Amino acid sequence: MAAGALGASGTSELGRTRDLSEQIKLDIARSIHANATAMTALEWQKSGYAPAEIFQNVRDFKINEAAQALCDGLNVLTDTDLALFEDEIADEKNARVVPCAATLQDRLKQYWISSRNELAEISTSEFPERAFSRSKVKLQLPSIEVPVDAAAGPLLIRGGLKKGEIALTFDDGPHPKRTARLLEILANAGVRATFFQVGEMTTSYPEISKQVAEAGHMVGSHTFTHPQLPKLSAKDAESEIRSGREAVALASGTDIPFFRFPYGARNTYLNEFIKSQGMASFLWNMDSADWKLRDPKVLLARVKAQLDHEQGGIILFHDIHEQTVIALPYVLEELRARGFTTVVYVPQR
């Protein structure tokens, strides 16, 4: 584990407390830096400073001073940096080590409200004709289906899409609160998408997984626990893939032979295994970077830049992030303004 650890030998209690506080603050700073400088989600995960690891370290200390040091370190962060730790702050397993959770969550709630309002003001000022994001008016983007022969085991990156065609994909859900809101936004735009869901998440929230499928979206699988598959034994990797597909199919009520590697991490053996299972695997040629960009207006600017550069293809989002839900209406407005057609891949019959 990369995040720091402390020994107690040869130091006074006051000294240990001071050292502990400094170490936790340093780990928080390293987590923020690692996220900001990572070029991919895989690089970020490999850094050893993901929020889950920082909070696990604090839980391992099992002393009140560690919890206070964590709160002290989080309290001084900007709202944007604090948002990186939002899921861990809200996680019940961290309740003991984040006694300041309620205060931090109130801050984040206000941050998201302010971010939403700021984006609306910018849109109103720059594009007064775009009413979708500010009302219940249906946008109705052009949409087409593209069949995929999953039995042949294809690997899709751009997905054969032409200039002006885009497939929206969302990973890592379903989320207990955000996925449903995202579905409403897509429905108001007449857009169908592909969701690559994690098995353990569908086990926890099967009703949301089913809601996604019933809304007409494709529900593919994304393993059971979202590991870095190349780091596992062949047996364990195969189990992750199979159990993930089974869990998603059970929860959603539909078995779609579409798969996405967590972090896009794969090797020749895994590619061949997916092919042997009669599954199509999906990567992407556009990354929204919503796993690192926690300011919705910055996220929107990133998506626009990706559209400028790639002109179409498969774009990666995550339905577990608040910034994604806030930015999505403006992304859809941008697609409409550029004359894009949205694409949903479907299994070939």
Amino acid identity for residue 108 in this structure: L
Q: How many CB atoms lie within 10 A of CB 275?
A: 17
Active site residue 318: yes
Active site residue 72: no
Strand-pair category, 165-171 with 313-318: parallel
Among the options 175, 222, 318, 321, which is catalytic?
318
How far lies 93's CA from each of 96, 101, 115, in Å?
A: 8, 12, 28
Residue corresponding to tokens 């798969």: 259
User: Are 257 and 278 within 8 A, CB to CB?
Assistant: yes
| First and final C-alpha spacing in the chain | 47
How far lies 221's CA from each of 41, 198, 259, in Å?
A: 18, 6, 5
Q: Which two tokens stand for residue 342?
A: 């949205």
Among the options 171, 287, 290, 295, which is catalytic?
171
Say if residue 329 is preceded by a cis peptide, omega within 30 of 0. no
User: Are 164 and 341 within 8 A, CB to CB?
Assistant: yes
* Per-residue exposure over 148-163, b if at least 16 CB sit within 10 Å of its own CB, e if not: bebeebbebebbebee
CA distance 311 to 166: 8
Closest CA to 331 of 170, 158, 160, 146: 170
Instruction: Give 209's DSSP letter.
Output: H
Instruction: Give 134's DSSP letter.
Output: G
CA distance 328 to 310: 19
Q: Which two tokens stand for residue 218?
A: 């494709």
Catalytically annotated residues: 171, 318
